Chains A and B, each alone.
Chain A
């Protein structure tokens, strides 16, 4: 069972570079999320999607973009990387009903130097 798969697991970027974090899930979940985790700050929501073609901003969307062309995939794009984007990024997915939990990928540790 693959669940939620994120790639890459680690990445070092130089300031000003761009990259896409890939996320795919095989559970037919309609909801998908991107979070960033910083020490002592918990998980902050960057963007989320309630279905293909629908995305919405979370708490910390600046510097990021997303798209959701299929149910399975929810890539996160970083444009013009900045040191403040150094973090661990998690993709997650869930069903839309409130009683269901989020399933997480294994995270991507991104360092911007």
Chain B
């Protein structure tokens, strides 16, 4: 079975600074997608960014970018110019054919 590991239960960043959240996964599949979701205190799960395993180019969405290292099975999320609204729980997720597998999450605090 696929596993997703987020080794940082909590992280903090100063407003306007950059922070990187780490994620590793384990799979024997060759075709899959990886996602980062944000969960603010409202509880709503919001898609931040996605990465296709076949694409070597790292995905970018405005201030959010990923560092995808397929051989190392690593998928980290970089948040640039951090804002107070970025404070949330962040989940890394792996999608196989039928299921999504989630990590345990990283709680991000943004310090004004």
Contacts and interface: CB of A to CB of B under 8 A. Distances in A.
Interface residues of B, number: 27
Contacts of A101: 35, 47, 50, 95
A59 to B, nearest CB: 8
Contact of B91 (A42, A58, A106): A42
A104 B44 CA distance: 7
B83 interface: no
A74 interface: no
A42 B103 contact: yes
A58 B85 CA distance: 33
Looking at chain A's contact residues, the main secondary structure is strand
Nearest to A9: B43
A106 B47 contact: no
Interface centre among B6, B9, B33, B102 (most CB of A within 10 A): B102
